[in-house]
Amino acid sequence: MLQRGWGEARRFRLLGALVVLLAASAVWADDSEHRLQQGVKTAIGSGFEVTYGDYGSNADATVVTVPVLLAVNPLQDVDLTLELPLVYLSSRSSSNVVVTRSGGMGRRSNATVNLSSGNSTSSEAGLGDINLSAGWTLQQDEEGWAPRIRPNLYLKLPTGDDDSGLGTGTFEAGPGLSLSKWLGDVQLFADGAYILQDSTSDYQGKNYLAYTAGGGVQLNDRLFVSLFAKGSSTRVDGGDAPLEGRLKLNFLQSRRVAWELYGLVGFSDASPAAGGGLLVMYQF
């Protein structure tokens, strides 16, 4: 774990170094699948996600996220993605929850929660933590036993207001690996990433292992349906490990317009109890 109590100057130096690393390597990405269709160079997208949960602290928290996405293929096998999330958080004032990566929630380390009181509700809105990712496809999924292999790198910038609960106030960055294989009309996929995270006096983040695993079916030329598990090890001292199940539908409306529609169910206090979202991508 990176040390707590970093000064602002050191944080800005780290931010600059990580951005340079991302731009220079351009060979990694986060634990989500690459969204661009074959032959597409650039895509922009937006949509929404709504989640609800108590998060083990009677938080009664509703999170609405509106992501703005930019995806680019600068080279044939290289992809870059930038996500700027706009976040609305409504929760009980006493819960001291904060929005973390992938729509999950955490609690400030110095939080003292009185579950028998604190019925007042507070609402906050603003920019969340910005996500950057990059990936490099080393091997395509071809006939035979070999899967598609894609090493990746993830970077999260603490741009969300952590005092308002819109972000954790911590940097996150780390490498990962994605594997996928088509077996006729069925695709199996899995990915994992080891994420380094620093800490603040209010949010004691820790390094964690993130993962996704599942499969899907290509129903026709335009429709793909998948079911998968998504989770990680514990991301904060004293917290639970997030774990959720997702059902997702990908629909290719045309060469330029692609849709994603999904629902989720959480299985731990670090995940929302339920939620869902919609995303539309316009491809150039």
More confident residue, 168 or 57: 168
E strands, the chain, are 42-53, 61-75, 78-92, 97-99, 105-107, 121-127, 130-136, 148-157, 172-183, 186-197, 208-218, 223-232, 243-252, 257-266, 274-283
**What superfamily does domain 8-283 belong to in CATH?**
monomeric porin ompg (2.40.160.40)
Whole-number pLDDT of residue 239: 85
**Domains in the chain: boundaries:** 8-283
Q: Is the pLDDT reported for residue 266 higher than 90?
A: yes
Report how far residue 185's alpha carbon sits from residue 206's, in angstroms, rounded to the nearest whole number. Answer: 39
Which among 1-5, 33-37, 65-69, 237-241 has the top mean pLDDT? 65-69
Cα 118 off chain centre by = 30
Mean pLDDT for 238-244 is: 91
Q: Is the pLDDT reported for residue 50 higher than 70?
A: yes
Q: Which of 170, 132, 169, 147 is nearest to 29 (CA)?
A: 132
Q: What are phi and psi of 132, to 5 degrees?
A: -125, 140
Report the predicted TM-score, pTM, of the whole model to 2 decimal places.
Answer: 0.83
Whole-number pLDDT of residue 167: 93
3-state secondary structure of 8: helix
Report how far residue 61's alpha carbon sits from residue 259's, in angstroms, rounded to the nearest whole number. Answer: 27
Where residue 260 falls among pLDDT bands split at 50, 70, 90?
A: very high
Mean pLDDT for 119-134 is: 92
In this structure, are residues 155 and 133 in contact, taking their beta carbons and an 8 Å threshold?
yes
In this structure, are residues 183 and 213 in contact, taking their beta carbons and an 8 Å threshold?
no
Compute the half-sphere exposure of residue 75: CA atoms within 13 Å on the CB side of its CA: 10
Q: Is the pLDDT reported for residue 117 higher than 50?
A: no
For residue range 203-222, list pLDDT tens digits in order: 989 999 999 999 999 999 99
